[in-house]
Structure 1
């Protein structure tokens, strides 16, 4: 039996986590001005380099707005934040997405998955494309591990976004991989893999048939069921 080496979070990571937690909890409200870098460094007993690089990373995510010669302010991260915000929200909630974010992610998946199947059924799917999707389904049949099943389901759907021919679709899909896989694993833990496996099989049948209406209906029914039906995945 092997054990992985333990790693200690860097001071920068701890600094970022501390500030983000205060923002997400509301202790630092939107529009609030942070102390200067020097003051933050003194209060948190870290170097100004740690503070400077941490602020830069949080500004990149959309948590903070740096106004030259004015100061650093808490940004309206739900309006201007990038997909990294999802990971920060998960971290703040102990690795779990709140119900609102889960619903938002599933609504997003309906949009992008339906877009992908519409684009794919508008043309003839090739034998090689079918084989790649079938491979994901076949691998799923060989495992009952929730994490592996979820990763295969993610790979299947991510491949659909790539096959749509839209350059940005797979890039956007990839940005939410961690949350997608986590929710998929929770689904399998609660309900088993049978319904997910059947869904991906049936979706492939409709893609082969070029039946846009039925493919879209399958996607909408499956994901809506995870929000409001018998297979909800809220914590």
Structure 2
């Protein structure tokens, strides 16, 4: 059902068959169908209207963090970059303040933790790199001296990791390893302008690497 919504086969406002019908069609118990519908509702894909039925939700209006995580996971297999570009744009607006703060406020132990993450990344497999990429940015956020950034990152952790996993489909993570080492060095040197410029350049590289849509 989720795949049908994400693919556009089911559209916002479409009424789903009754739970009894779904149980009969899928040959599973009514309790399993009920749990599945509840899960879809919790993740913002459907809305349950008592005594009226279950309808496909308007994701832009009713979606939540878990909706976005599911969409990113779907993106990683469907190679649809339309969702990735807005996330990069969001990060481009926020990252300069975070990076600048880290360059200006990072303590020695915070710099050491950033370096330690980079070392782990250099020894990691593709499977573990998305989470380590989150760890790198999280350590930079902590080092920025603004706890709001790190708390926001924790809130959006699933989104960050799903985003990094989705980008692996077209941008091999090993290509970013020199960037992370360079960023760690710039932050340790306190070179705010250089670090911000490096981050913005990396965003541009990501955008350029995205598969371009072609008109059919």
**Counterpart among 104, 113, 116 of residue 132 in structure 1:** 113
Kept after mapping to 2: 8 A contact 1:149/1:185: no
CA change 1:24–1:60 in 2 (3 A) is: same
Q: After superposition, what is the alpha-carbon deviation per residue over 1:62-103, rounded to whole angstroms, capped at 9, x for unaligned? A: 110112222211111133222333453456567344111222
> Counterparts of 1:1-235 in structure 2 under 5 Å?
19-89=1-71, 92=74, 95-121=77-103, 123-142=104-123, 145-164=125-144, 165-166=147-148, 168-176=151-159, 177-184=161-168, 186-188=170-172, 192-193=174-175, 196-228=176-208, 232-234=209-211
The verdict on how the C-alpha distance between 1:33 and 1:182 changes in structure 2, with shifts beyond 3 A counting, is closer
Higher normalized contact order (CA 8 Å, seq sep 6+, divided by chain length): 2
Structure 2 regions of 5+ residues with no counterpart?
none
Native 8 Å contact 2:45 2:59 kept in 1? yes
Counterparts of 2:72 and 2:189, CA distance in 1 = 39
- CA-based RMSD: 2.8
The count of aligned residue pairs is 208
| Aligned-partner Cα distance in 2 for 1:206–1:90 | 31
The separation in 1 between residues aligned to 2:35 and 2:154, in whole angstroms, is 26
**Structure 1's 150 and 53: CA in aligned 2 closer, same or farther, altered over 3 A?**
closer
Shift in Å, 1:46: 1.9
The alpha carbon displacement at 1:216 in A equals: 2.0
Evaluate the alpha carbon distance shift between residue 91 and residue 108 of structure 1 in structure 2; reply closer, same or farther with a 3 A threshold.
same
Instruction: Provide the TM-score with structure 2 as the length reference.
Output: 0.80
Give the gaps of 5 or more residues in structure 1: 1-18
CA distance in 1, matches of 2:210, 2:12: 30
Q: What is the deviation of 1:148?
A: 4.5
**Counterparts in 2 of 1:69 and 1:156: CA distance versus 1, 3 Å:** same
Check the 8 A contact 1:31/1:74 in 2, yes or no. yes
